[in-house]
Amino acid sequence: MKRDFLALQDFTPDEILLLLELTKKIKAGKKATKPVLKGKSIGLLFQKSSNRTRVSFEVGIYQLGGNCIYLGPKEIKIGEREAVSDVSNTLSRYLDGIVARTYTHQTVVDLAKYAKIPVINGLSDLTHPCQALTDIFTIKEHFGTLKNKTVAYVGDGNNVCNSLLIGCSKIGIDMNVATPKGYEVATDIVDNAKKNAKKSGAKLLFTLLPEEAVKGADVIYTDTWVSMGQEDETKERLKVFQSFQVNKNLMKLAQKNCVFMHCLPAHRGQEVTDEIMDGSNSIIFDQAENRLHTQKAIMTFLFK
């Protein structure tokens, strides 16, 4: 039976921990040469722009011995030129796997439903699981442990926040989420996170106050205030999110050795200041690098 990588909610805590271990080995070079993709072709089916996801997947596929075909927004026009099911069935006859970046989450779910090959979610409007797994790996790498660590997410209750919340709650990392009113995490994601937390022991806090979320935090995480597909809402969002900027004053309220994280791309001067982005506590480029190692672990797991 093929396995997809659509959301961390579909994976057990043990599987997530295994992926983190595998990432560590791959980054250390111990498993880097196992060519699990030798003779295989993976399609990158992207409806949206990308730097990190596209490049790290292309490089990772190459390093695992595979061939990559990039299918950008102008190529397949999924659901527009052809039904999702027809795209999925056709690509399953050529490819061995698909990495999809879609507008609606349902598109990636439907792709996986009809595909006979593994589908990896490279970001949808609801989730970004490759990012969250990378983020948790990066936190563990930085601190040497995940025990007694608190992650504070400040900003939009969006795809990046959703996946981080699911990942943390699954494996027992405490997480505080501060969003403006009307931009909270979706109810079903919160419900799943609460169920996960009951099992893992993770403590979760949801607040409208950034200052409350960052109190005692080991990590402050933020993301853009305007995600891809929300460009029409830019004016309103820039107003609403003003007091959610991660800056020196906010960082001061967290633990002394608190690190700053961002999935990137960042909008300097909006959700975060240059000073924090470029400061000594910023681990944003470790995060960006770790996308490569984590995704190689995901592909090794799915294509073993």
The single residue of 223, 245, 270, 293 carrying the catalytic annotation is: 223
Give, as ranges, the residues between 224 and 263 that touch ligand CP (CB under 6 A): 263
Nearer to ligand CP, 69 or 264 (CB): 264
68 is catalytic: no
Does an H or E element contain 207, and which? strand 204-207
Based on CB atoms, which residue is closest to ligand CP, 50 or 179?
50
Active-site residue, selected from the candidate residues 52, 101, 105, 262: 101
**Residue 51 site contact among ligand NVA, ligand CP, none (CB < 5 to 8 Å, cut-off depends on kind):** ligand CP
Q: How many residues bind ligand CP (CB under 6 A)?
A: 9
Catalytic-role residue among 4, 291, 293, 295: 291
218 is catalytic: no
**Helix, strand or coil, per DSSP, at residue 195:** helix
Closer Cβ to ligand NVA, 158 or 169, answer by number: 158
Per CB under 6 A, 160 contacts ligand NVA: yes
From the CB of 128, what's the least distance to ligand NVA, in Å? Answer: 6
The window from 98-106, 224-232, 274-282, 295-303 that contacts ligand NVA (CB under 6 A) reads 224-232
Report the residue number, 131 or 176, with the smaller CB distance to ligand CP: 131
Q: Is 179 in the site for ligand CP (CB under 6 A)?
A: no
Q: Which amino acid is at 269?
A: G
For residue 43, give the H/E element and its range.
strand 41-46
Q: How far is the CB of 302 from ligand CP (least distance, A)?
A: 19
Looking at residues 99 to 128 of the shown chain, list those that interact with ligand NVA (rule: CB under 6 A): 123
Contact indicator for 300, 27 with CB cutoff of 8 Å: no
Nearer to ligand CP, 120 or 204 (CB): 120
Q: Is 268 a catalytic residue?
A: no
Q: Which entry of 105, 128, 237, 293 is annotated as an active-site residue?
A: 128
**Contact between residue 127 and residue 193 where contact means Cβ atoms under 8 Å apart:** no
Instruction: Count Cβ neighbours within 10 Å for each residue of 141-175 and write b for 16 or more, e otherwise.
Output: bbeeebeebbbbbbbbbbbbbbbbbbbbbbbbbbb
Distance between CA atoms of residues 130 and 290, nearest Å = 10
**Cβ pair 171, 16 in contact under 8 A:** yes
Q: Which of residues 226-255 bind ligand NVA (CB under 6 A)?
A: 227-228
Under rule CB under 6 A, residue 92 binds ligand NVA: no
Instruction: For residue 53, state whether it binds ligand CP (rule: CB under 6 A).
Output: yes
Q: Which residues of 235-246 are buried (b: 16+ CB within 10 A; e: fewer)?
A: eebeebbeebbb
- The 3-state secondary structure of 91-133, one letter per residue: HHHHCCEEEEECCCHHHHHHHHHHCCCCEEECCCCCCCHHHHH
**Residue reference for tokens 């609403």:** 240
Instruction: Match 């959610």 to its residue by tokens.
Output: 244
128 is catalytic: yes
Give me the residues that bind ligand CP (CB under 6 A), please. 50-53, 123, 131, 263-265
Give me the residues that bind ligand NVA (CB under 6 A), please. 123, 158-160, 223-224, 227-228, 263
Active site members: 101, 128, 131, 223, 263, 291
